[in-house]
Amino acid sequence: MFLNPGPTEAAPRLSRFPVAGREHVRTARHRFRAWRGSRPFWAGLFTLTAGVPILYFPYVRLSLSGIPLALSTTAGAGALITGVLLIALGVSLWVRPQTRVFAGIAGLLLSLVSFPLANFGGLFLGLLAGLIGGSLACAWAEPAQAGAPDTDV
């Protein structure tokens, strides 16, 4: 009864969206894929994500099994500047992919500076994400044009 609907039972509807809605979602997904493929998307995402824990941990009050854990440092302003700059570099990688080398090297340096400055680089989360994002930004190459001749001989 549950696996095969009988002749009197209607088959379950697979989608809530009408066909036109599916086409809209499909075209939006294809446009996002084309946009993502034309810029260092993952480098920007990792770099942007690196700024969040660097910003978060110096200003939050944590507790470990009821024991208050203060991660506030005297260099809270340094953590704020480092985190905001990493977020700005991640967004700039999406908006201006031409700045990928500068943003990649700056992301790498800011991530390394965050280690002593901002609670071990946001408890190593921001440090690792920033190193990965900066490396991806430096390694990213623009996709070849469809009609352009191949120069790799």
Query: What pLDDT does 143 receive?
Result: 80
Give the pTM: 0.72
Q: Which residues contact 112 (CB under 8 A, 6 or more apart)?
A: 127, 131
pLDDT digits (tens, 9 = 90+) for 93-102: 999 999 999 9
| First vs last C-alpha separation in the chain | 63
Residue pair 100/141 in contact by the 8 Å Cβ criterion: no
**Residue spans of the chain under pLDDT 70:** 1-21, 62, 69-75, 145-153
**Rounded to an integer, what distance in angstroms lies between the CA atom of residue 87 and that of residue 93?**
10
